[in-house]
Amino acid sequence: MTEILGDLIECGVNIYNPVQISANNMAPEMLKERFGKNIVFHGGVYDAVKFRGEPSPDVIYESVKANIRTFSKNGGYLFAGVHNLPPDIPEAHLEAMLSAYRDCCRESSLLTAGTI
């Protein structure tokens, strides 16, 4: 996808959904650095493929928080999972994801920018 994202931006696309962070060449840091000034990212915080095997809620929390911080830096981010959240997502994962979101909302640097 990253091979054509620049072309899509040139054609007028201004939001990209879904941001599937488990796919090749879709690391949040790279996406934000390379395209973040020109497009809004929608999603990318919880990737069911990446989190197979039920990692601990702490792992989910830290990963989600890091992704929110990365994608929301300097604006251009809409909080969401990758695609739809699966029906069998562990409740502890939902709690960790929402806790990370709430904690990021309290961070003054993110609130000031109005990014999430």
Q: Give the pLDDT confidence score for residue 58 in this predicted structure.
A: 96
Query: What are the contacts of 54-59 at 24+ separation with CB within 8 A?
Result: 54/90, 54/93, 57/92, 57/93, 57/95, 57/96, 58/96
Say yes or no to pLDDT of 101 above 60. yes
Higher per-residue confidence, 2 vs 109: 2
44-to-10, 11, 54, 64, 97 alpha-carbon distances in Å: 22, 23, 18, 9, 12
Say yes or no to pLDDT of 23 above 70. yes
In tens, the pLDDT along 6-17 reads: 999 999 999 999
Q: Give the pLDDT confidence score for residue 82 in this predicted structure.
A: 85
Give the predicted TM-score (pTM) of the model.
Answer: 0.86
Q: Give the pLDDT confidence score for residue 37 in this predicted structure.
A: 93
